[in-house]
Homo-oligomer: A and B are copies of this chain.
Amino acid sequence: MRMIEQQGALYGVVLAGGTGTRLWPLSRAGHPKFLHPLTGTDASLLQATVDRMDQLSSSDRVFVVTGVAHAAEVVRQLTEVPADNVLIEPSPRDSCAAIALAAAVIARREPEAIMGAFASDHLIADKAQFTRVIQQAMGGARQGLLMTLGITPTRPETGYGYLECGSVVGDGPVMAVQEFKEKPTYDVAESYVKSGNYLWNAGMFVWRVDVFLAELSRQQPQLAAGISRIAQAWDSPAREEVLGEVWPTLPRISVDYAVMEGAATVGRVGTIPGDFGWNDVGDFHTLGEVLVSDHAGNVVVGNEADGSKAGVLLRETENLVVVPTPGRLVAALGVRDLVIVDTPDAVLVCPRDRAQEVKSLVDALKDTDRLHYI
């Protein structure tokens, strides 16, 4: 990672949690989505998320928050991130606690630091535009706003939350966010898209750590007090003991509910519409839409577009999303619009337009007590 000027550089916080059951059988409890090379290159989603910040931050300013189950693999994948920047949650406490911990640890180093919080399992096609948007968001953050990145919606998606935009702040490009809207029905989503006044809530945030922690104290005093206790012990021998004692008492709540909704109500949230090819890699169909395909629309994940390096043999196939596994061959003949995912112990076949329902297979495996496949 390139070292950029220290003054004003971003602290990048990567949230490496969640399993991604709609990406089963690739994504497992033991090896979740963000650890997999679903990027069209050899890089995992996690690695790509860190690499993406190389014009904004420096390696020593990149933090990762992850759980005990995956911390070792996270450290192994992120060779340039200092070990002490990997913050390991003793148990899952949702995004507010994770983000607050990172903010508090960063604040000890630089009280008015600007941090960005990013999911570890999203794809972004246009890095240059992403960099520009984050720099604009950092401008809003310097003015004391909690910035959330909004994505200009391209369809009436019912799987995302929305941001209702207000007026432009100053000369722009920052816009005020009036209200956070939960996942809408299709009709409501359609009206949002038509109005032109709503953005998808992509769950990426940029703010000054002191501003965020103050808003946390105002809205979530218990959580803020707990994080404060942990932060005070962070650089002392008592870190593990205090973390182990306090962390389990923190409320499980998302940062949207805990802080952002209430902050928007009092006019403290801003956004930048971010048109940088954002994709949340929610399922294999979506993944296939953003990766490079061959002339017949087939996408082979984790390998060259023509599948030449991968263990695949495709003959008269169209619009497949194929995920091969090392040392095994996926052969397909005369099929189209299918997802075929191969792993060392399970293979999945389903139509691309039902890729979201893969989650139901995971439920069925639970119901039939085949937990080793989950």
When the two chains form their complex, are residues A349 and B370 in contact, meaning their CB atoms are under 8 A apart?
Answer: no
Measured in the bound complex, the distance between the Cα atoms of B364 and A332 in whole Å is 12
Residues on the B chain within 8 Å of A333, using CB: 348-351, 354, 357-358, 360-361
Within 8 A of B (CB), among A333-352: 333-335, 338, 340, 342, 345-351
Which of B315, B349, B361 touches A340 (beta carbons < 8 Å)? B349
Measured in the bound complex, the distance between the Cα atoms of B96 and A347 in whole Å is 43
Q: Mark A100-133, 1 if CB is under 8 A from B, else 0.
A: 0000000000000000000000000000000000
A329-B346 in contact given A313-B364, A315-B364, A364-B315 (Cβ < 8 Å): yes
A257 contacts B by Cβ under 8 Å: no
Residues on the B chain within 8 Å of A368, using CB: 313
Range, interface on chain A: 20 to 34
Within 8 A of B (CB), among A290-325: 313, 315
A43 contacts B by Cβ under 8 Å: no
Measured in the bound complex, the distance between the Cα atoms of B332 and A308 in whole Å is 26
Residues on the B chain within 8 Å of A338, using CB: 335, 349
Residues on the B chain within 8 Å of A349, using CB: 330-333, 335, 338, 340, 349
Measured in the bound complex, the distance between the Cα atoms of B342 and A25 in whole Å is 15
A334 smallest CB distance to B (angstroms): 4
Q: Which of A25, A327, A350, A360 has the most CB of B within 10 A?
A: A350
A340 smallest CB distance to B (angstroms): 6
When the two chains form their complex, are residues B329 and A347 in contact, meaning their CB atoms are under 8 A apart?
Answer: yes
Residues on the B chain within 8 Å of A313, using CB: 361, 364-365, 368, 370
A105 smallest CB distance to B (angstroms): 41
